[in-house]
Every structure is written in structure tokens, then in C-alpha cells.
């Protein structure tokens, strides 16, 4: 009976160890991504609270996974156009992914409260099109909470999103502003 109990406890301990997050890996399920387009005709804003992200504090590796149908618009017709085949085609391309590195990792101390300037280089993949990307932002460390704030411009044509005529060509900017706020914690 003791051997059986010891075996059960050993298997349980091994199972728990295999499901824990490695040390130094921060996970964000509280990620807000906003895009903003401004033209002479109208401003368009969409918000997504369904993205997830990880930061490996020992290597500086950063990953964002963004469900494209998670963007919400003020007007239902905007959301319908955004998800449609002529724009993002979110049924065929349900996720966008951003992968890269914090390039100045030595300037960021994830163990000490403070505000740090962060520099990032990586690759953005939208609609099967991958493009290099660089961004600067702020990394806020307070206790066990890390918050990343950044914004950068994204040129839609780089990802095969372009309108040559009609209403979308005048209503949607060729380059949009992306803003990201991600709250991380050890999992």
C-alpha cells in the first residue's frame, strides 16, 4: 500500500511539474490591442482584448498571438468589412502573430520596480505575409506585475491589404497606428 501511495504521489508531482511555466516566462492574458485609422472622411478605431502574449525574461523573446476576429468596431458594417474576404479574410487567416526580441534586455531589470525603455525587433505575420518590425515602448515593473506599452505604425499594403478604388480607399488610411498594452504575470 505504501508503494502504491508513493507511486501515485510521484506521478502527481511529475504531472504538476510538467504543467508549470518555466522560470522567467511571463504570460499576459490581459492584452489590449487597438488600431486607429484617420482620414479626411472618417476615423476608424477597433479594439481587441483577446490577444495573448509571453515574454521570456532571460532571453528577451516576445510572442503575441492575436485572434483577428477579436477586433470590435463601433459600427457593425465596419466589422463586417474588416472580417470579409476583401480585407482581412479572417476565416482563412484567423490569427496574426508577432515574434521577436527585446534588443536592449540588459537595460531592463524584471526583478526591480521601475520604468524601463524597451526596444523590440521582430516579425509581424498578417494574412500569411511576414514583415520585419521595430518598436520602442515602456516596460513597467511593479512587484510581480509587468506591463508593456508600445505603439507603432503598420502599412496595410505590406500585408496585401490595399484598396485601389471605392469607399474603402478613401475611408481607410494606408498606414494605421497600432497601440499595445499588455499586463504580464508569472503563471
Q: What is the pLDDT of residue 24?
A: 86
**Which residues, in sequence order, are CB contacts of 136 under 8 Å at separation 6+?**
117, 118, 119, 120, 150
Overall domain count for the chain: 1
51 has a pLDDT exceeding 70: yes
7 in any annotated domain: no
| Helix, strand, or coil (residue 173) | coil
Classify residue 105: in a domain, yes or no: yes
Q: Provide the β-strand partners of residue 168.
A: none
Q: For the chain, report the end-to-end CA distance as a whole number of angstroms.
A: 35
Task: Print the domain residue range for 95.
Answer: 22-186
Q: Look up the CATH number of the domain holding residue 97.
A: 2.40.128.110
Instruction: Tell me if 165 is assigned to some domain.
Output: yes
User: Which of the four pLDDT bands, split at 50, 70 and 90, describes residue 7?
Assistant: very low
Any domain includes 13? no
Per-residue pLDDT tens for 122-166? 999 999 999 999 999 999 999 889 999 999 999 999 998 877 666
pLDDT grade for 37, boundaries at 50, 70 and 90: very high
Q: In Å, how far are 16, 18, 20 from 8, measured between CA atoms?
A: 12, 15, 19
Residue 96 counted as domain residue? yes
Residues 59-92: tens digit of each pLDDT? 999 999 999 999 999 999 889 888 988 889 999 9
Q: pLDDT category, 49, cuts 50, 70, 90?
A: very high
| Strands in 7-144 per DSSP E | 25-38, 43-56, 61-67, 72-73, 95-102, 114-126, 129-142
pTM of the model: 0.82
Name 95's Cβ contacts closer than 8 Å, sequence gap at least 6: 65, 66, 67, 68
Amino acid at each position: 500500500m505504501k508503494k502504491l501511495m508513493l507511486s501515485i504521489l510521484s506521478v502527481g508531482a511529475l504531472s504538476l511539474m510538467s504543467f508549470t511555466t518555466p522560470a522567467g516566462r511571463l504570460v499576459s492574458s490581459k492584452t489590449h490591442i487597438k488600431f486607429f485609422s484617420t482620414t479626411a472622411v472618417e476615423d476608424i478605431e477597433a479594439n481587441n482584448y483577446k490577444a495573448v502574449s509571453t515574454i521570456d525574461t532571460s532571453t528577451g523573446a516576445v510572442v503575441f498571438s492575436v485572434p483577428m476576429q477579436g477586433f470590435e468596431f463601433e459600427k457593425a458594417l465596419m466589422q463586417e468589412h474588416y472580417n470579409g474576404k476583401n480585407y482581412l479574410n479572417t476565416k482563412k487567416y484567423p490569427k496574426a502573430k508577432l515574434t521577436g526580441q527585446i534588443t536592449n534586455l540588459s537595460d531592463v531589470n524584471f526583478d526591480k520596480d521601475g520604468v524601463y525603455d524597451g526596444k523590440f525587433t521582430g516579425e509581424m505575420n498578417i494574412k500569411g505575409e511576414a514583415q520585419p518590425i521595430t518598436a520602442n515602448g515602456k516596460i513597467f515593473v511593479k512587484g510581480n506585475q509587468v506591463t508593456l506599452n508600445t505603439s507603432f505604425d503598420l502599412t496595410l499594403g505590406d500585408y496585401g491589404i490595399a484598396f485601389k478604388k471605392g469607399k474603402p480607399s478613401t475611408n481607410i488610411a494606408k498606414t494605421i497606428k497600432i497601440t499595445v498594452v499588455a499586463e504580464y504575470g508569472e503563471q
